[in-house]
Amino acid sequence: MSDPQKWFKSSYSGSDGGDRAEIAAHSAAIHVRDPQAPQGPTLAFTPEAWAEFTAYATASARTSER
Protein backbone atom coordinates (compact mmCIF):
# COMPACT_ATOMS: atom_id res chain seq x y z
CA MET A 1 0.00 0.00 0.00
CA SER A 2 1.87 3.06 -1.19
CA ASP A 3 -0.70 5.79 -0.63
CA PRO A 4 0.05 8.67 1.74
CA GLN A 5 -1.84 7.25 4.71
CA LYS A 6 -0.33 7.91 8.09
CA TRP A 7 0.89 4.67 9.66
CA PHE A 8 1.45 4.34 13.40
CA LYS A 9 2.75 1.59 15.65
CA SER A 10 0.00 -0.42 17.29
CA SER A 11 -0.34 0.08 21.03
CA TYR A 12 -0.35 -3.72 21.27
CA SER A 13 3.10 -4.03 19.71
CA GLY A 14 5.76 -5.44 21.97
CA SER A 15 8.47 -3.10 23.26
CA ASP A 16 11.17 -5.75 22.77
CA GLY A 17 11.03 -5.52 18.99
CA GLY A 18 8.71 -8.46 18.47
CA ASP A 19 5.01 -8.75 17.76
CA ARG A 20 4.92 -5.53 15.81
CA ALA A 21 2.18 -4.11 13.65
CA GLU A 22 1.49 -0.74 12.09
CA ILE A 23 -2.01 0.59 11.63
CA ALA A 24 -3.47 3.16 9.21
CA ALA A 25 -7.03 4.20 9.85
CA HIS A 26 -9.29 5.38 7.06
CA SER A 27 -13.03 5.98 7.17
CA ALA A 28 -13.76 2.89 5.05
CA ALA A 29 -11.08 0.52 6.38
CA ILE A 30 -8.40 -0.11 8.97
CA HIS A 31 -5.15 -1.28 7.37
CA VAL A 32 -2.55 -3.40 9.17
CA ARG A 33 1.01 -4.12 7.98
CA ASP A 34 4.34 -5.48 9.15
CA PRO A 35 6.75 -2.55 9.66
CA GLN A 36 9.63 -4.84 8.70
CA ALA A 37 8.08 -5.10 5.21
CA PRO A 38 6.25 -1.80 4.61
CA GLN A 39 5.96 -2.44 0.87
CA GLY A 40 4.59 -5.93 1.52
CA PRO A 41 0.99 -7.03 1.82
CA THR A 42 -1.50 -5.42 4.17
CA LEU A 43 -4.69 -6.60 5.82
CA ALA A 44 -7.79 -4.42 5.58
CA PHE A 45 -10.68 -4.57 8.01
CA THR A 46 -13.99 -2.74 7.98
CA PRO A 47 -14.32 -0.49 11.03
CA GLU A 48 -16.93 -2.90 12.41
CA ALA A 49 -14.69 -5.95 11.96
CA TRP A 50 -11.75 -4.08 13.51
CA ALA A 51 -13.87 -3.17 16.55
CA GLU A 52 -14.87 -6.83 16.97
CA PHE A 53 -11.26 -7.99 16.56
CA THR A 54 -9.86 -5.53 19.11
CA ALA A 55 -12.64 -6.34 21.60
CA TYR A 56 -11.83 -10.05 21.25
CA ALA A 57 -8.07 -9.47 21.54
CA THR A 58 -8.53 -7.31 24.65
CA ALA A 59 -10.81 -9.86 26.30
CA SER A 60 -8.39 -12.69 25.45
CA ALA A 61 -5.45 -10.77 26.91
CA ARG A 62 -7.35 -10.14 30.14
CA THR A 63 -8.32 -13.80 30.39
CA SER A 64 -4.74 -14.99 29.88
CA GLU A 65 -3.47 -12.66 32.64
CA ARG A 66 -5.46 -14.56 35.26
pLDDT digits (tens, 9 = 90+) for 11-27: 665 556 566 889 999 88
Tell me what pLDDT residue 60 has: 85
What residues form DSSP beta bridges with 22? 9, 33
Q: Could you give the number of structural domains in the chain? A: 1
Task: Please report whether residue 27 resides in a domain.
Answer: yes
Entry pTM: 0.71
Task: Please report whether residue 47 resides in a domain.
Answer: yes
Among candidate residues 10, 6, 2, 9, the one with its CA nearest the CA of residue 57: 10
Task: Please report whether residue 54 resides in a domain.
Answer: yes
Task: Please report whether residue 1 resides in a domain.
Answer: no
The answer to whether residues 9 and 22 touch, using CB atoms and an 8 Å cutoff, is yes
Task: Please report whether residue 2 resides in a domain.
Answer: no
Residue 57 lies in domain: 8-64
Task: Please report whether residue 3 resides in a domain.
Answer: no
